[in-house]
Amino acid sequence: MAPDHSMDENAPRHQRRIRYKGTYPKNFKEKYKELQPERYADAVAHVIQKGSTPAGMHRSICVEEILELLQITPGQIGLDATLGYGGHTLAMLKCLDSKGRLYAIDVDPLELPRTQERLERLGYGSDVLEIRQMNFSQIDQLAFESGPFNFVLADLGVSSMQIDNPDRGFSFRAEGPLDLRLNPTRGRSAANRLKKMTLDELQNMLVENADEPHAGLIARTLISSMKNGMEISTTTQLRNIIEEALKFVPKISDDEIKKSCQRCFQALRIDVNQEFEVLDDFLEKLPDVLAKEGRVAILTFHSGEDRRVKKSFKHFFREGVYRDIAPELIRPSDKECRENSRARSAKLRWAIKA
């Protein structure tokens, strides 16, 4: 007779999926099919076909263009300075054909182990791929162990799985804690950072980090709200104050208000993670970690980032450190932008070590 498990407290219990209203789930945690692509491949393919990014995933941008620029061959040593979801990493590993070595780094302690597990399931273990949690401003420390790199890639965009997960607080579109840290275990959250800022600091940050045209009005409203005891600890609280500040601006449209919200969140994220300072360190150290004839490709999504990359490449080209640099930036194809709307703001530049 088969044993009776009906009263076994240790037996696994069936958990019903999260219920949602309507035909398709709208909230991140309700999208259980998109969050399990290995089980629901058809559902994920349907989302991608519509030109959207499935929840919990990231669609790598300019993959073909990057591979063409880097000209990876088996036996080389390379670096993916921003591992993220691992799409670029996987494409570069295929070029190496299990010969050579690829290093991949990222500051995000939440997404890094998930990406490492996915790549290991695909057969890319420590024999060809070494993954570390570290900031790409520390590439000199990594190169001290690895030796010079034949190719380096840095994708400076925030990954879709970070943006879409409301628990990370990156987007004004969903309720969540106002955090914005790429590594939520270090530094101060955006909410705590806001509490410490003066009016001038806040206004300058919105201008320098996001070119926000209404920086003065938004900064004054935020500072005034906090002085009057208003709490700004969630994404929606910040969004509501920005919207309130702008609704009396003559002839401003809802779309313009949304863009200001997006720029303010971007400015705060850049500030909280010290992204410009980190990028400057990376660009300064980059020539020293490249091998002779080593190639680098950098993908940016913000004018401030692109200006820094362009300026650095031109400086080292004039100094004779780089023998060739991109004469102009490369944009994603119209086809890619149609298939992935998040590709529209991407800018790609490259350089080759002398």
Place of tokens 């106002």: 178
The whole domain housing 233 covers: 184-272
Q: Identify whether the C-beta of residue 332 lies closer than 8 Å to the C-beta of residue 341.
A: no
> Domain for residue 222, yes or no?
yes
Supply the pLDDT for residue 21. 59
Supply the pLDDT for residue 2. 46
pLDDT at 83 over 90: yes
- Are residues 70 and 107 both part of a single domain? yes
Supply the pLDDT for residue 32. 43
> Domain for residue 44, yes or no?
no
> Domain for residue 203, yes or no?
yes
- Are residues 236 and 205 both part of a single domain? yes
C-alpha closest to that of 93 among 56, 140, 130: 130
Model confidence over 132-170: pLDDT tens digits?
Answer: 999 999 999 999 999 999 999 999 988 777 777 888 888
Q: Cα angle at 352 between 284 and 331, to 5 degrees?
A: 90
Max CA distance (Å), the chain: 84
Q: At what angle do helices 199-210 and 254-272 cross, to 10 degrees?
A: 100
Between 94 and 32, the more confident residue is 94
pLDDT at 301 over 70: yes
- Are residues 220 and 85 both part of a single domain? no
pLDDT at 327 over 60: yes
> Domain for residue 57, yes or no?
no
Last residue of a domain, one of 217, 250, 272: 272
- Are residues 144 and 280 both part of a single domain? yes
DSSP, residue by residue, 78-90:
EEES--TTSHHHH
> Domain for residue 172, yes or no?
no
pLDDT at 31 over 50: no
In sequence order, what are the residues at sequence separation of 6 or more whose Cβ sits closer than 8 angstroms to the Cβ of residue 203?
A: 215, 216, 219, 220
- Are residues 256 and 285 both part of a single domain? no
Dig out the tokens for 186 from the structure. Answer: 């270090």
- Are residues 134 and 80 both part of a single domain? yes
CATH at residue 344: 3.40.50.150
- Are residues 287 and 320 both part of a single domain? yes
Last residue of a domain, one of 224, 246, 272: 272
> Domain for residue 305, yes or no?
yes
Supply the pLDDT for residue 162. 78
Last residue of a domain, one of 228, 247, 272: 272
Place of tokens 């906090």: 226
In angstroms, rounded to a whole number, what is the distance separating the alpha carbons of residues 238 and 10? 45
CATH at residue 191: 1.10.150
Supply the pLDDT for residue 158. 82
How many domains are there within the chain? 2
Model confidence over 185-234: pLDDT tens digits?
Answer: 999 999 999 999 999 999 999 999 999 999 999 999 999 999 999 999 99
Model confidence over 1-23: pLDDT tens digits?
Answer: 444 544 455 544 545 555 555 55
Model confidence over 33-68: pLDDT tens digits?
Answer: 445 555 555 554 555 555 555 545 558 899 999 999
Handedness of CA 84, 131, 185, 283 (dihedral sign): negative
Model confidence over 241-292: pLDDT tens digits?
Answer: 999 999 889 999 999 999 999 999 999 999 999 999 999 999 999 999 999 9
In angstroms, rounded to a whole number, what is the distance separating the alpha carbons of residues 292 and 276? 27
Q: Strand 290-300 and strand 101-106: pairing?
A: unpaired
Q: Which residues pair with 300 in a beta bridge?
A: 347
Model confidence over 85-110: pLDDT tens digits?
Answer: 899 999 999 999 999 999 999 999 99
Supply the pLDDT for residue 25. 53
In angstroms, rounded to a whole number, what is the distance separating the alpha carbons of residues 8 and 119? 37
pLDDT at 81 over 90: yes
In angstroms, rounded to a whole number, what is the distance separating the alpha carbons of residues 225 and 247? 16
Dig out the tokens for 172 from the structure. Answer: 């004004």
> Domain for residue 5, yes or no?
no
- Are residues 334 and 304 both part of a single domain? yes
